[in-house]
Amino acid sequence: MKKYQASSMQEAMKKIRADLGKQAVILQSKTVYSGGFLGFFKKKTIEVVAAVDPNARPEIKEKPRAGSIVEKSQPTMQSIHQADLLAKEVNELKKILAQYPREHAIAFDGLPEELKPPLVRLKEQEVSDVLITELQQDLLLKWKNSKGHVDEQEAFEWAKQWLVRKIGPLQEQAAQKKKYINIVGPTGVGKTTTLAKLAADSVLEKGKKVAFISTDTYRIAAINQLKTYADLLKVPIHVAYKAEDFTEILEHLEDYDVVYIDTAGRNYRDERYVQELKSMISFEEEVESYLVMSLTSKENDLKEIIDKFSLIPIEKFIFTKMDETKTHGTLLNLMCHFQKGVAFVTNGQNVPDDVVEVDTQTIVRIIFGEDV
């Protein structure tokens, strides 16, 4: 097994064929950057690990002449043993390399040691490589301006300042401004429970006059659940079966401070569901929509959910089940990707305790593993 470096894969293949012959197999290839200054202007090379396939038939370099006698070489015990060892080594290396791209997508080699901890923290939280690279460049510039006089604690402070600048404008847009709060999202994310938590906070902590509207006529259990919360909070609940019902109910609730609207939990991949929402609810100036999603879901699935619900105006996100996962980078990735703020996160089943209204500093604490 040998390691080769070249300026391109074509050049590397020529070296390997010349050295190991046609029986060579490539075990690993990756791009390596060397030299440069402060992480910039690095030289790009291709690094390839190759070996001779122990299971390949030996290459015949010269065709025997007619009439000549060719002796068949018999494999010795030593050659068989060496082939077995090489095959075992190749298999073990393949197992290690299978995990390599995921664990080492971004390397922090060459960085000042003091700058690595906040970057590693973001990597552990599964923050996107794009954002980590952006932070890395920001930290390097600050390190250069400080002439290297920085410790780990200050590097964390720099990272937090970068994050505040990144998401601060998004969170300023996320403050609740409208009277009618519409809760939408796929099935199974805890929309009704989240709505009850928000309503309980409005009634018990803020002393507001609150009412419920349910458009979830598909699930009797959901309406009964909301009625239970309404009875406990002593607030009215109305059920809208069609758009005309919804408009009429709004007229009866003019004197209320906040009206929470619960929608049906359906398969978000069915576009008819979102179209039904559009036809049921009048998304005018006084209606503000929150998209509820679970942090335990896959990030690609959440992106698809957001795309499907883009047919209606989504002002901000609510993330549930924060207590059921140790990684929260998805929250930051989606904020930056879709340029939307986060209104609330939930971290338990208790009503109304386990809901947190989110501001910029809250998200900073979540991402950097501090108490919320």
Shared domain check, 260 and 361: yes
CA distances for 223 relative to 22, 192, 228, 244, 341, angstroms: 70, 9, 9, 19, 29
Is the per-residue pLDDT at 69 higher than 70?
no
Higher pLDDT, 275 or 189: 189
> Has residue 167 been placed in a domain?
yes
Shared domain check, 209 and 191: yes
Residue 282 neighbours by CB under 8 Å, 6+ apart? 243, 246, 247
Instruction: Give how many domains the chain has, as a whole number.
Output: 3
Is the per-residue pLDDT at 353 higher than 70?
no
> Has residue 65 been placed in a domain?
no
Distance CA 88, CA 321 (A): 44
Say what the pLDDT of residue 364 is: 96
Shared domain check, 150 and 7: no
Shared domain check, 86 and 44: yes
Is the per-residue pLDDT at 210 higher than 60?
yes
Is the per-residue pLDDT at 87 higher than 80?
no
> Has residue 123 been placed in a domain?
yes
pLDDT averaged over the chain? 80
Q: How confident is the model at residue 147 (pLDDT cuts 50, 70, 90)?
A: confident
> Has residue 67 been placed in a domain?
no
Q: How confident is the model at residue 134 (pLDDT cuts 50, 70, 90)?
A: very high
> Has residue 69 been placed in a domain?
no
Is the per-residue pLDDT at 313 higher than 80?
yes
Shared domain check, 276 and 208: yes
> Has residue 201 been placed in a domain?
yes
Shared domain check, 209 and 82: no
Residue 296 neighbours by CB under 8 Å, 6+ apart? 321, 324, 325
Q: Can you tell me the mean pLDDT for 322-344? A: 94
Q: Can you tell me the mean pLDDT for 270-295? A: 76
Shared domain check, 235 and 206: yes
Shared domain check, 179 and 166: no
Residue 227 maps to which CATH number? 3.40.50.300
Is the per-residue pLDDT at 269 higher than 90?
no
Say what the pLDDT of residue 62 is: 52
> Has residue 70 been placed in a domain?
no
Residue 45 neighbours by CB under 8 Å, 6+ apart? 5, 6, 7, 31, 32, 33, 34
Tokens of 249: 């109910």
Shared domain check, 163 and 183: no
Which residue segment(s) compose the domain that 133 sits in?
A: 113-171
Shared domain check, 185 and 322: yes
HSE, side-chain direction, 13 A CA sphere, residue 224: 3
